[in-house]
A = this chain, B = another copy of it.
Amino acid sequence: MTFNQIVHQIHSKQSFLCVGLDPDRSLFPLHLQAKPDAIYLFNKEIIDATSPYAIAYKPNTAFYEAEGASGWQQLTQTIRYIRQYHPNILIIADAKRCDIGNTAHRYAKAFYQELNVDAVTLSPYMGMDAIDPFLSYKDKWSIVLAITSNDTASDFALQPLTNGKPLYQAVIQKCVSKGSKEQLMFVVGATRPQLLAEVRAMVPEHFLLVPGVGAQGGGVAEVAKYGMNRDCGLLVNVSRDIIYAGNGLDFAQTAGKKAEEIAQEMGRLLAATQFSI
């Protein structure tokens, strides 16, 4: 999915919502919990209900791996389902993979070819060797961790290097020297909105994937204030607040309503900036 296709979707849906598909069987509605393919069944309903408002879906691999090979199979089925019935929606594997050379190429194959997602999140600790193999897929997206939404992002990512600038800025700088706005995004947590502005100043044109809205405490309006650019340039992720909004037979309908609410706020924020294509 290209940059322009993403911007077009944002325009037509008046939303920049990414729905996190983090399936936790223990939080599913009772009628699904015991089914062997509960994850897939849950995801299908959530996807159909939220698709009018979603620009992207972001399955987090941890939640699938926790169910072993069956979990990986249901991740595969989920991605196929989105591809088949909602082909305009970006699919991000939130995998935060981190490995080099030969191994990074294998991960790229696993995600871009086998699973056939559009984008994968990457952890930069090992340097550009861990990013370059993904950037070599020009028609896919690499989404590199810059500032995450958790408290201990301050342990390392926010630590200043000897030039006085924090590690995350070195990460961004290295990455933008290799990847254009057509293939590279950054993760910037919603919980530190002022830092969003600093990242936006460094990468005025790249998309930012913003977790940490909702359950983790960040607000959409603040994210838009500090991070939006003329292409919108934001994908704001919400997971639990949407997918576990209800847990009855009508859980998907409730999730859809919650997604709609959030998208309405996003639409107002987009309107206020006179975003157009």
Q: List residues of A whose CB falls within 8 A of some B CB.
A: 22, 24, 60, 62-63, 65-73, 76, 96-104, 106-107, 109-111, 114-115, 123-130, 145, 148-157, 159-162, 164, 167, 170-171, 174
Does A156 contact B129, Cβ atoms closer than 8 Å?
no
Q: Quick one: which of A69, A152, A161, A164 has the most chain B CB within 10 A?
A: A69
Given A72-B72, A98-B125, A126-B153; 14 other pairs, CB 8 A cutoff? A22-B103, A24-B106, A62-B97, A62-B99, A65-B106, A68-B115, A100-B150, A100-B152, A127-B148, A127-B150, A127-B156, A156-B170, A159-B170, A160-B161
Contact (A159, B157) CB under 8 Å given A124-B125, A127-B150? no
Q: Which of B73, B109, B123 contacts A123 (CB 8 A)?
A: B123
CB atoms of A156 and B145 under 8 A apart:
no
A22→B149 CA distance, assembly (Å): 33
Tell me the complex Cα distance, A115–B153, Å.
28
Q: CA separation between A259 and B207, bound complex, in Å? A: 48
A103 contacts which chain B residues (CB < 8 A)?
A: 22, 60, 62-63
Chain B neighbourhood of A127, CB < 8 A: 148, 150-157
Least Cβ–Cβ distance between A48 and chain B, in angstroms: 23
User: Assuming the A-B contacts A96-B98, A164-B162, A170-B159, are A114 and B148 also in contact, with contact meaning beta carbons closer than 8 angstroms in the complex?
Assistant: no
Contact A104 B62 (CB under 8 A): yes
Distance in angstroms between the alpha carbons of A102 and B60 in the assembled complex: 11
A187–B25 Cα distance when bound, in Å, is: 34
Residues of the B chain whose Cβ atoms lie less than 8 Å from the Cβ of A126: 96, 123, 145, 148, 150, 152-153, 156-157
**Cα separation A258 to B121 with both chains bound (whole Å):** 37
Tell me the number of copies of this protein: 2
What CA separation (Å) do A104 and B149 show in the bound complex?
Answer: 14
Q: Which residues of B contact A96 (CB under 8 A)?
A: 97-99, 123, 126
| A146 smallest CB distance to B (angstroms) | 10
Provide the residues of chain B in CB contact with A156, threshold 8 Å.
Answer: 124-127, 167, 170-171
CA–CA, A128 to B76, complex, Å?
A: 31
A22 vs B102: C-alpha distance when bound (angstroms): 10
Give the CA-CA distance A237 to B67 in the complex, in Å.
28
A99 in contact with B159 given A126-B145, A150-B126, A154-B127 (CB within 8 Å): no
A172: min CB distance to chain B, Å = 12
6 intermolecular pairs with C-beta atoms under 8 Å apart: A63-B106, A68-B76, A68-B110, A96-B97, A98-B145, A162-B162
Q: Which residues of B contact A99 (CB under 8 A)?
A: 60, 62, 96
Are B145 and A62 in contact (CB-based, < 8 A)? no
